[in-house]
Chains A and B, each alone.
Chain A
Amino acid sequence: GEDVEQSLFLSVREGDSSVINCTYTDSSSTYLYWYKQEPGAGLQLLTYIFSNMDMKQDQRLTVLLNKKDKHLSLRIADTQTGDSAIYFCAESIGNNRLAFGKGNQVVVIP
């Protein structure tokens, strides 16, 4: 079955870069995603990458995809207090379904 693995917790100082990692299992996934969940809110799509890409840059966000190792990472440059949230990695698994990791809590220290 589909299984997306993430580490659970990361603390980072404001202004530093933060990197969150994820491994997934379905090599046929068309898209891979990073969702952000702020306290008391639902998940919101932060960024995504098409499976035939290796890297995607979107302002302070850099997504790296290693298809050989089924590894996805999200780098947030110049981390700000508003980046404190839970970040979920997800992969598309057909029929508009997504398989989510357990999430990685990022705490930004001022």
Chain B
Amino acid sequence: DAGVIQSPRHEVTEMGQEVTLRCKPISGHDYLFWYRQTMMRGLELLIYFNNNVPIDDSGMPEDRFSAKMPNASFSTLKIQPSEPRDSAVYFCASSRTGGSYNEQFFGPGTRLTVL
């Protein structure tokens, strides 16, 4: 299996622009998580899905952030408009119900820089 795939790996954009991050979870996994990592706040859970349905989006910072999962093999995290304080590494992770010890498998992350 290819593991969790994220694209792009790096994104540099200007303040006010729309940013879309993409994730392909591991086939057969029914949970998908979006995290944000910064030096100040560590690893924060933004939102997670189960069977393509958003379960908890309480970690989404504000209305500028939105996430979708149109099918079991694809999810997007969108920031519109982007701001410099959104600069961070964004990780997608997936897991499956009944999987061994609830392990989450992480993608390589997208490093976002907003100028």
- The one of B45, B97, B105, B109 in contact with A97, judged by C-beta atoms closer than 8 angstroms, is B45
As a 0/1 sequence over residues 28 to 67 of chain B, the CB contacts with chain A under 8 angstroms (1 = contact) are 0001010000000111010010100001100000000000
Shortest distance in angstroms between A53's beta carbon and chain B's nearest beta carbon? Answer: 12
Decide: A43 and B106 in contact? CB cutoff 8 A: yes
Decide: B45 and A44 in contact? CB cutoff 8 A: no
- The one of B4, B104, B107 in contact with A98, judged by C-beta atoms closer than 8 angstroms, is B104
CA of A44 to CA of B105 in the docked complex: distance in angstroms? 7
Instruction: Pull 17 A–B residue pairs with CB atoms less than 8 Å apart, ordered by A.
Output: A41-B108, A42-B91, A42-B107, A42-B108, A42-B109, A43-B91, A43-B93, A43-B104, A45-B103, A45-B104, A95-B31, A96-B99, A96-B102, A96-B104, A97-B33, A99-B45, A102-B42
Query: Which chain A residues have a beta carbon within 8 Å of chain B's beta carbons?
Result: 30-31, 33, 40-45, 48, 50, 88, 92, 95-103
Which 5 A/B pairs are nearest by Cβ-Cβ distance? Answer: A102-B42, A42-B106, A100-B43, A43-B106, A96-B31
